């Protein structure tokens, strides 16, 4: 089980959270001028990397807030969490901060 550091509540067991998929995917701003391909990208296509993944979690049994998380999908190690709304971090910097 993962130990997930909620940016608002601190480290808690995975059971308190709900996974919410890849982060920083913005809904098309102007739906009527969005092409089928762009809708498909937004709804269904994912980067699914083997390595660092930026994802959303929701602390359902705690503060109930969404936040973002950088996790290595090979080791499942969490490198960083940060509140929703902050810009996408530079992964090279995240790696350096984590001492890797």
Partner 1 sequence: MRFSFLNLAKQALSAHRHWPEQWRFPEPKAEYDAIIIGAGGHGLGTAYYLAKEHGMRNIAVLEKGWLGGGNTGRNTTIIRSNYLWEESQGLYEHSVKLWENLSAELNYNVMYSPRGVMMLAHTVHDIQVFKRHVHANRLQGIDNEWLTPEQAKEFCPILNISSNMRYPILGAALQRRGGTARHDAVAWGYARAASAMGVDIIQNCEVKGIRRDLNGAVSGVETTKGFIGTKKIGVVAAGHTSVIMSMADVRMPLESYPLQALVSEPVKPIMPCVVMSNTIHAYMSQSDKGELVIGAGTDAYTSYSQTGGLHITTHTLDAICELFPNVRRLRMLRNWGGIVDVTPDRSPILSKTPVKGLYVNCGWGTGGFKATPGSANVFAHTIAKDEPHPINAAFTIDRFKTGRLIDEAAAAAVAH
Residues that bind partner 1 (CB under 8 A): 1-2, 14-15, 18-19, 21, 36-37, 39-41, 43-50, 53, 55, 71, 73-76
Sign of the Cα pseudo-torsion (73, 79, 84, 90, in order)? negative
The least CB distance from residue 89 to partner 1, in Å, is 18
Comparing CB distances to partner 1, the nearer of 43 and 84 is: 43
87 contacts: CB under 8 Å, gap ≥ 6:
none
Collapsed DSSP state (helix, strand, coil) of residue 49:
coil
The least CB distance from residue 17 to Zn ion, in Å, is 8
Instruction: State how far the alpha carbon of 52 is from the alpha carbons of 21, 22, 60, 89, in Å.
Output: 14, 11, 24, 11
Comparing CB distances to Zn ion, the nearer of 28 and 62 is: 62
Give the residue from 62, 57, 60 showing the smallest Cα distance to 82. 57
Could you say which of 8, 18, 88, 96 contacts Zn ion (CB under 5 A)? 8
In the complex, which residues of this chain contact Zn ion (CB under 5 A)?
6, 8-9, 59, 62-63
């Amino acid at each position: 089980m993962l130990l997930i550091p909620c940016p608002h509540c601190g480290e808690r067991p995975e059971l308190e959270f709900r996974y919410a998929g890849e982060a920083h995917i913005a809904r098309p701003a102007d739906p009527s001028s969005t092409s089928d391909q762009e809708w498909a990208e937004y709804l269904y296509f994912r980067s699914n990397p083997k390595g660092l993944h930026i994802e959303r979690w929701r602390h359902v049994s705690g503060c109930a807030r969404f936040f973002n998380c950088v996790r290595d999908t090979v080791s499942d190690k969490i490198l960083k969490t940060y509140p929703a709304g902050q810009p996408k971090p530079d992964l090279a910097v995240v790696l350096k901060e984590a001492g890797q």
